[in-house]
Amino acid sequence: MYAFLTGPMLWVALLVFFGGLTARVVWYVRGLSWQLDRVAYGPHLAHGLKGGIHSALKWMLPFGTQSWREQPYFAVAFFLFHIGAVLVPLFLAGHNIILAERFGFSLPALPMGIADALTVAAIIGLVMIALRRIALTEVRILTTAYDWFILAVSAAPFVTGFVARLHVGNYEAWLLAHIITGELMLIVAPFTKLSHIVLFFMSRGQIGMDYAIKRGGYSRGAAFPW
Amino acid sequence: MPEGTFCNRRPVNTEEDLKALLGDKGGAQYYKEMAELEVDVEALKATLQKTLQSRTKTWLEICAHCGMCADSCFLYRVNERDPKQVPAYKIQSTLGEIVRKKGEVDTAFMMRTMEVAWSQCTCCNRCGMYCPHGIDMGVMFSYLRGLLFSQGFVPWELKIGSGMHRVYGAQMDVTTEDWVETCEWMAEEQQEEWPGLEIPVDKEDADTMYVLNAREPKHYPEDLAEAAILFHLAGENWTVPSEGWEQTSLTMFAGDWAGCKMQVERVYAAVDKLRPKRVVGTECGHAHRATVIEGPYWAGRADGRTPVPFLHYVEWVSEALTTGKLKIDPEKRIKEPVTLQDSCNYVRNHGLAKHTRIIMSYIAEDFHEMAPNREHNYCCGGGGGFNGIGRYRHQRNVALKTKRDQILATGCKLVVAPCHNCWDAIRDLEEEYEIGIRWSFLKPLLISMVIVPEHLKPQEEDE
């Protein structure tokens, strides 16, 4: 079972994940239309991209935007989760051992203590996000079962992985649960809101280009004050 | 599929139809007919298929339902934080629903959607600044308005507004003759006080062509006279076109995209005909949006640019002041505390905040910013057509409270509002809430404090 999940199944999961997300990016860009979006992407590409990159970077910086500063609770929750969600899967020592074994290459590994801290932070972030979803009427009215599903799919690999790491209960079972939920996340990502893993950059890039090319980028005299 | 006499899927294209629609006072019959107007599902489907592409699709799909947009929306805040006013909810429950149902929606749904699209969003685009994914719900509401217009679900006044542009090429029934006569009348009237003042119509190869808002010639032609005086004092080589002088676009508020194209092409045609070096538009926000920001795209200009540089009035004034073409008498600057309204259309959406600040630094001694301001400022409360729709007057009046409280917080009794919609909204909020404020466009303020060069002063008559 373990061999299958970390062998052929891992291949499938990674192919779906990377292939699917690449397709989403390609479709997104191909579906942009200067007439329908009313943004002249082509003639102002370099200027536009500068605005697009600025728009994405600002939002990736904790408290980098007015919106993050006005909502510190959510900003903290968001970054606690997302920093762990990006770093831990990529740079966890355990993951890289598998990478090295199966694919013959590996990424630098995080020291165990830091990986633990990031994992705990990510789980805390997720709990904060879930509590906010329940507590605030303006978020509750938007919330659907689908949102809870996405939250669960994102939480499961962290929780199972961390339990396995702590060696409480049945290690083998938790490890399998971790691998299964991790691969599930990879497989559903391109087909769900998790596609924001790449579409965040597309969407942020687009609105940044929109403001840079059309909505004052040439007259504002400064970058757009996100 | 039944369609009403007044409420139907056809835009108004003739004077006769326009007058008939105007005769239906308050749209009484119009809205009755709307309740019976069937949705042309096939057409709606086809439009979605053609026009709903990756940007909008992705926005609707990846919205994380995080609710960060809630507090960015002044309508949410001013309506006791009603969760139904959360921007994401408003767009997901309207456009989102139409898309999920692939256009299979009914009349009642479309009427409710119309209400949301025109009374719960002014297309101020502020929410887009506060969304982590950069989802601009103002842009989506504008798109939704287009769908609604094409199906005949549009507020009565905006159906008329779109008809006005289609029939008269202006948002009001001002014909070419009316307009040219107004120019002559205003020039004549100013002769005594401003000898040599002209309002040159259709002068070719001028430095500057001036375009404006039909309400000015129709209801307060002194605004045109003031523009002429300031151009005169600045020594500007200017003109107005006899056709294509109207810069506004109620067609944009209505979601009448074909009408938008017709409207802006009239202005661009005047540019082609008269070959000015550049164009200056009046103190109007949406007119600037329609002609300078969105207009090039409606007209199919692939570079997204106007045929010659187009300046908003505040850009022209800031230039005239910094280059010394207009000089302010320091004694006559505004002494009392004064604040400034940032128009969404040319500040958030066109980056002109610095120009109005330059102007304030020249004309005011005690300038106070509203909070928030510049790109982050709130809508006046009447943008996007909201001011003009009788059916939603109550909702509009509630919306005005945001600006009322912002103004009160500055402690100022004078508000500079270089935008027609903002100016109207501030006038209405004073009427509704009586907070004891005054408000003004820039032109009358400038005329009251500008230094008149010797050679332009009226000659003293010999005794």
Per residue in B187-229, pLDDT tens? 999 988 999 999 999 999 999 999 999 999 999 999 999 999 9
Token pair 């128009």 is found at B343
Give the whole-angstrom CA distance, residue B211 versus residue B312: 10
Q: What is the pLDDT of residues A117-135, one digit of tens each?
A: 999 999 999 999 999 999 9
Q: What is the pLDDT of residues B74-116, one digit of tens each?
A: 999 999 999 999 999 999 999 999 999 999 999 999 999 999 9
pLDDT for B405 equals: 98
Give the whole-angstrom CA distance, residue A11 versus residue B209: 65
* Contact residues for A130 (Cβ-Cβ < 8 A; gap 6+): A151
Task: Extract the tokens encoding A149.
Answer: 């599903």
Sign of the Cα torsion B140, B141, B142, B144 reads positive
- β-pair partners for B339: B368, B415
A154 CB within 8 Å of a chain B CB:
no
Read out DSSP for B226-270?
A: HHHHHHHHTT--EEB-SSS-B---HHHHHT-HHHHHHHHHHHHHH
| Pairs from A165-170 (Cβ < 8 Å, separation ≥ 24) | A165/A116, A165/A119
Contact list, B54 vs chain A (CB under 8 Å): 27-32
- Mean pLDDT of all residues belonging to chain A: 97
pLDDT for B458 equals: 78
Token pair 């599902």 is found at B41
A138 CB within 8 Å of a chain B CB:
yes
Contact list, B305 vs chain A (CB under 8 Å): 40
* SS3 call for B10: coil
DSSP type of residue A110: P
Task: Indicate yes or no: CB of A66 within 8 angstroms of CB of B376.
Answer: yes
Give the whole-angstrom CA distance, residue A151 versus residue A77: 13
User: Is the bond preceding residue B309 a cis peptide, omega within 30 degrees?
Assistant: no
Task: Indicate yes or no: CB of B132 within 8 angstroms of CB of A59.
Answer: yes
Q: What is the pLDDT of residues B245-292, one digit of tens each?
A: 999 999 999 999 999 999 999 999 999 999 999 999 999 999 999 999
* Contact residues for B219 (Cβ-Cβ < 8 A; gap 6+): none
Contact list, A59 vs chain B (CB under 8 Å): 132, 134
pLDDT for A71 equals: 97
In angstroms, what separates the C-alpha of B55 from chain A's closest C-alpha? 6
A148 CB within 8 Å of a chain B CB:
no
Reply yes or no on whether the pLDDT at B460 is more than 80. no
pLDDT for A185 equals: 98
A29 CB within 8 Å of a chain B CB:
yes
Give the whole-angstrom CA distance, residue B123 versus residue B344: 9
In angstroms, what separates the C-alpha of B58 from chain A's closest C-alpha? 8
Reply yes or no on whether the pLDDT at B456 is more than 90. no
Q: Report B:101-130 residues touching A (Cβ under 8 A).
A: 128-130
Task: Indicate yes or no: CB of A220 within 8 angstroms of CB of B294.
Answer: no
Task: Indicate yes or no: CB of B302 within 8 angstroms of CB of A221.
Answer: no
pLDDT for B463 equals: 45
* SS3 call for B209: strand
Q: How confident is the model at residue B2 (pLDDT cuts 50, 70, 90)?
A: confident
Q: What's the rounded mean pLDDT across residues B145-172? A: 97
* Whole-number Cα distances in Å, B110 to B82, B143, B457: 21, 14, 60
pLDDT > 90 in chain B, percent: 96
Q: What's the rounded mean pLDDT across residues A94-122? A: 94
Chain A with chain B: Cβ pairs closer than 8 A: 150
Task: Indicate yes or no: CB of A203 within 8 angstroms of CB of B133.
Answer: yes
DSSP type of residue A194: G
Give the global pTM.
0.96
Q: How confident is the model at residue B1 (pLDDT cuts 50, 70, 90)?
A: low
Reply yes or no on whether the pLDDT at B15 is more than 90. yes
In angstroms, what separates the C-alpha of B455 from chain A's closest C-alpha? 35
Q: What's the rounded mean pLDDT across residues B140-159? A: 98
φ and ψ at B92, to 5 degrees? -65, -35
| Chain B residue at shortest CA distance from A26 | B54
3-state secondary structure B395-407: HHHHHHHHHHHHH
Task: Extract the tokens encoding B171.
Answer: 């948002």
CB atoms under 10 Å from CB of A8, counted, come to: 10
* Contact residues for A117 (Cβ-Cβ < 8 A; gap 6+): none
Task: Indicate yes or no: CB of B129 within 8 angstroms of CB of A140.
Answer: no
- Mean pLDDT of all residues belonging to chain B: 96
Site from B59, B65, B72, B82 to mutate, A interface, most A CB atoms within 10 angstroms: B65
B72 CB within 8 Å of a chain A CB:
yes
Length of chain B: 463
* Contact residues for B454 (Cβ-Cβ < 8 A; gap 6+): none
Which of A209, A35, A183 lies closest to B296, judged by CA?
A: A35
A201 CB within 8 Å of a chain B CB:
no
Q: Report B:421-440 residues touching A (Cβ under 8 A).
A: none
A131 CB within 8 Å of a chain B CB:
no
Read out DSSP for B316-344?
A: HHHHHHHTTSS-B-GGGSB-S-EEEPPPI
B418 within 8 A of B150, measured Cβ to Cβ? no
Give the whole-angstrom CA distance, residue B52 versus residue B139: 12
B348 CB within 8 Å of a chain A CB:
yes
B329 CB within 8 Å of a chain A CB:
no
Site from B55, B94, B316, B373 to mutate, A interface, most A CB atoms within 10 angstroms: B55
Closest CB from A138, A200, A204 relative to B86: A138
Give the whole-angstrom CA distance, residue B286 versus residue B206: 25
Give the whole-angstrom CA distance, residue B443 versus residue B99: 46
Task: Indicate yes or no: CB of B134 within 8 angstroms of CB of A78.
Answer: no
Classify B121 in phi/psi space as left (phi over 0), alpha (psi -120 to 50) or beta: beta
- β-pair partners for B279: B209, B310
pLDDT for B461 equals: 55
3-state helix, strand, coil in chain A (%, to 5): 80, 0, 20
Q: Are strands B338-340 and B367-368 parallel, antiparallel or unpaired?
A: parallel
Reply yes or no on whether the pLDDT at B54 is more than 50. yes
Q: How confident is the model at residue B337 (pLDDT cuts 50, 70, 90)?
A: very high
In angstroms, what separates the C-alpha of A90 from chain B's closest C-alpha? 23
